[in-house]
Amino acid sequence: QVQLQESGPGLVKPSETLSLTCAVSGVSISSNNWWSWFRQSPDQGLEWIGDIFHSGGTNYNPSLKSRVTISVDRSKSHFSLNLTSVTAADTAVYYCAKSVDAMDWYFDLWGRGTVVIVSS
């Protein structure tokens, strides 16, 4: 069964680093598509954070670029998101997703999402 599954802490303290992992199953993480992170909050709506190719190439949203790192571990078939210096504005549901292919940034497979709350 093809699926993505997010995991990580549901509560992060302000100024600390949010770290999430997306486990990929049923499809090769080395396939010809991008692996992406999104978040969704009532205030910001759906927001693309960034993505990574299996070779390690990345694209980041300029609004978050200074705080975001996305990495991939092909041996474990997962990719990860690190977001530093978090504030309450980073509270959201975080999703990982797969692009249709390497040239078309439409997203045809999504994880179920994980809620992250930033609070002391």
* Residue ranges that bind other proteins, judged by CB under 8 A: 45-48, 59, 61-63, 95, 97, 100, 104-108, 110-113
Rounded to the nearest whole angstrom, what is the least distance from the CB of residue 13 to other proteins in the complex? Answer: 26
If the CB atoms of residues 79 and 95 are measured against other proteins, the closer one turns out to be 95
Whether 116 and 90 have beta carbons less than 8 Å apart is answered as yes
C-alpha pair distances (Å), 55 with each of 10, 28, 32, 64, 117: 29, 13, 10, 22, 31
Q: Which is nearer to other proteins, 14 or 104 (CB)?
A: 104
Phi-psi region of 28 (alpha: psi -120 to 50; beta: other; left: phi over 0): beta
C-alpha to C-alpha distance for 117 and 120, rounded to whole angstroms: 10
Query: Closest CB to other proteins among 61 and 84?
Result: 61
Q: Least CB distance from residue 112 to other proteins, whole Å?
A: 6
